[in-house]
Structures are given as C-alpha cells and as structure tokens.
Structure 1
Amino acid sequence: MNAHAPIKPPLKLFLASPRGFCAGVDRAIQIVERAIEKYGAPVYVRHEIVHNRHVVDRLKAMGAIFVEELDEAPADRPIVFSAHGVPKSVPAEAKTRQMLYLDATCPLVSKVHVEAQRHFDNGREIVLIGHAGHPEVVGTMGQLPEGAVALIEHIEDAEVFQPRDPANVAFVTQTTLSVDDTSDIVAVLQRRFPGISAPHKEDICYATTNRQEAVKQLAHECDLLLVVGSRNSSNSVRLVEVGMKAGAKAAYLLDDASGLDWAWLDGAASVGVTAGASAPEKLVEELILTLATRYDLSVEEVAPMKETVTFKLPRVLAE
C-alpha cells in the first residue's frame, strides 16, 4: 500500500430503493430499440421518448430521429409516440398519412385517458391536476374536445375554480406529481365539491409514489440528497422537492456525475442518492464511483419495497 496515499474522509451513502427506470420507461425504450431492429434506421420518435438526455442520445446513435411534430417525419418511415402520451389528433393524422405508428404511451397514462373519456361520456366537467405544457398534460387534455378539461396546477387554482355545475365534477391527475402536494389540492376540491368523482385508484403512478416514499425514508438522515435525472423530467424534479420537505439539509438534481459540485459535500457526513424514473442505473453507478474517488464510502441500501411491475410490448414488436 502506498504510505503517502491521502486518507479519504468517511462518507455514509444511503441508496434509495426503488430508484431509476420504471416499467413504463423500460417498455418505451424497448419499443424504439425493437422498431429499429425490425424496420431498420431511421425510426422517428415524436417528442423525447422519455425525459432523459442520456437515453435520447443513445437511441439517436442507434438510428432514432426525434421530432416534435408529426409533419417533421416522412410518411414512409415508422414513428413512435413517446411514453407521455399524445392528443387524439396525432394518431388520427398518422392514419390520414398512412404512417406506421407505434404507441409507447405508458399504460398508466393510457388509464388516465380512459378515465377522462369515461367522465366526459357521463357528462361530467373534468379537472386535470398537472403542470401546464408538460407533454403528458397536453396528451391527456387532447383526448377530449377543446375546453372539456380544466387544468389545476396549484392549491390557489383549486380554491378559485368555478365549474358550470358544482355537483357534476370529476378529477384526474398527471402520473408524475408530488403525492403530498396533489393530495393537498384534492383535499381543497373535495371540500369545495363534496360529490366530486375521484379516480378508482390513485392516478399518480406506482413508480412515482414508490420513489418519493423511498426518498422520504432516507432524507432526514442525509446532509445532502443527490437526485440523478434530467431537468425536464417531472418525476425527477419532484424527488428533489420531496427530499427537501422530508428533512434533507440540501438536495440537488444532476444529469450525471459530471454535474457534481464538490462544494455541496463540504462538511457532509452522509449523502442520499436516488434517480428519477427515466434515469439509467449506469448513471447512479458512475456517481457512486465518482464519490468514491474522494471519500471512503460505506453504502447502505434503503429498501422500502421491491417493484415487480412489467408491461407488454405492442403485438407487432413482441413477435
């Protein structure tokens, strides 16, 4: 052993479990990969398949071309719709252009679409709790005619929302929200409209809920919480917020290990690490290796639950 090697300070690392890819993200990425295998490159993808720069760059290298709108893709190449879901007008346009399209919408997002349609068919006014401009919100609102869905982003919106018929309202939610913030908004809606129709089962997806739960378990133990994920990933951004609320002294979102600022660790004895549902596990491993270059790490996995959910691929790709 090198007698002159500097002694690394100890650092306790709490690793959240579950973290990283969920079943919907896994399925969406596989759909693009299989489509490239089956049809050759290029395969077009409408919007980032999932909100992670590393995933998008890897698929680009395989032959995926990402576009924001359908008219940017030629009619004679396959196109994949992202995991966030699309307005009804998009598959309708693809059919008109006789395009081969593959829908990678997460089945849990599709469930919200079905719910919204059912409420609409039953004549209810629909409230969607979510973030304006997020592709999932655009897709859900686009399932129904213009004006059929009112978007509520904050508690203040819930306090002032005026339905046409207060006795005939229903709500659905984006799948990647903060569980606690959403329940606060729902509480306001239920207080104001006691008869409001709620989802049969929580719309916020199991993966978002589980990752937030895991962060709550470790946050109060941590001087610092590091969340691996992209800035445009709603569920990753929520993990930072949930961690701070649950008692982490500081929390940061970083794309990968290169985004680590060593100053964040000044005086820290413990760090929590997790990853959003669209962040590959490889990025977590690289972050831990980077931390190990300067610290003597002891790693403890905080495991509230194991996830066993999987989703089938579209029949045309499963063969």
Structure 2
Amino acid sequence: MGERRYVENHLNTSDIAFFAAQKAIENSQVNQEELDYIIVGHNYGDVKHNSPQSDNVPSLGTRVKHLLKIKNPNCVAYDLMFGCPGWVESMITAHAYIKSGMAKKCLVIGAEALSRVVDQHDRDSMIYSDGAGATIVEATDDDDSSGFLAHKSATYSYDEAHFIYFGESNNQELSDARRYIKMYGRKIYNFALSNVPEAMKACLDKSGIPITELKKVFIHQANEKMDEAIIERFYKLYSMQAPKGVMPMTINKLGNSSVATVPTLYDLVLHGKMEGQSISKGDVVMFASVGAGMNINAIVYRV
C-alpha cells in the first residue's frame, strides 16, 4: 500500500461526515430541510486526538444535523453500527424507508477515523485509514428502472462474532489501559472467501440481472488480495472469469477506511476520477461489503 489518509488532529469522525454530507446535498441540489432521515454508518464514534475514550453521545447523526444547521425536527438523525458494511446497510435501510412510504429523502453517510483506534505497533494496522462518503437517497416518479434492484444482508455470529475486537497493544512495554482495533486476519480471510461470493450471487440472482450485464462491483476495500479472491470466486460461481477492470480498487492510495471505502470508491468512478474506470446512466453495478459482526451485505443497483 502506497498511501492512506488520516484526519487532522483537530477533526473528528462527525466533522468529516459533515463535510461529505455538505457535498452530497450540494451535488443533489435537495433542500436539506426536506430530509426525512440522516443515517450515519460508523463503528467507533468521535475519538479525539490522543484520547483513549470514544464519544457517542449525542449520536454522530445528531452532530451532523447540528453542523448542517437543519431546523426541521421531523428530520430524524441516528447512527447505524454494522461493521465495515455500515454504509451499504444504511443504504438498504434508507431504501426500505422510501419503499414503505415512510420517507422521501434520506441522507446516508459512512464515516470513520480508524487512525484514532489503531495500534501503531501492530502490522495489521498499516491498512487502516480515515474517510467519509455520503449520498442522498430519494423517491422518484421517474419510470426509468434506475435505483435499487435487489439487496442481501446476513450476520454470522455463532462462531464469528469476535473475529474483529478491541485488544491491548502489541507493545508489551505500554502500561496504559487503552484498547485498539484487532482482528484474526486468517479467520476473516477464510470467512470472506467462503461467504461473500455466495451472498453476492444470491443478491444478483434475486435482481434477475444476468452477470454479463454487471458493469462494476464496488467492494469494501479491506485487503487487495482478499478482494481479488472474492471477485474470482464470485464469477466462478457462474463458470466465468472476472472481466478486466470490473472491480475498481483504491486501497493502495486510500487504505481501508471501513464504512467509507464503498461510497468514496463509487464517487471517484462516478465522477471520472479513476483512470480507466467509468460508469454511465443505465449501467448495473453492485455494492458489496464484509466486516465486524461478522456482517455481509450487497446491493444490485442501476445507475
């Protein structure tokens, strides 16, 4: 991995979530006072620089709404903790609100500052980074078949609940009580390869879209080797080889920013900021993720 991004010392997760929210609202040109829900996917809350404690009260959703200066009390703001798949699951939740008629406009954010919870003495921590992505999910009267086509979620917790956990530093000379994000890397790798391709297939089959029409797969940027193995197994389930360029990757420059990897990756491709990668109106894409829980989810979406 060549690069990764860390927030500046004076910023917290809720701040970068706010920055992403501002851009999403500006790009969509919606009236922010008409938002029905603000859903923030994250896992560690606001952890101030050099602080051992996470701050989750009030919720990050409430903090983002406050920073946006939204006055409407009917705009409900809350957080969703679902591991790295948190943004994808928040999108599924927003879609459910809209499909049921409970909402017309939702702001969905994925934000994390993993730099505040990593053990600098743990080699596994080198992949972690900070980031935020946001989108507006809106009901539409357009009959162009765009939007959600199918989704799939699952939680494996019988044996897998503690594959990702908080633990002591690898530096035995440290005597503080601070805990850091830890993981059983090999167990997660094997779990992902065994379960994520099957979930992706179930989601695609549910959509009724042939795999040959799938333009891009935006997968959580957890580990390049693991993601490549997942996509290979996914296409193998259809007796195919993965097409070249079907899975854009940013982990080499942006690292693993947990819930933020999928929305930031999609944004880069959508706006033509990744060389050799593009999508157009009408293209069918998939969002997929795996993370602490262990949770898995996927969405088939028409741009």
TM category, shorter: 0.3 to 0.5
Q: Which has the higher helix share?
A: 1
Q: Which has the higher strand share?
A: 2
Q: Considering only CA atoms, is the larger Rg found in Structure 1 or Structure 2?
A: 1
TM-score (norm 1): 0.31
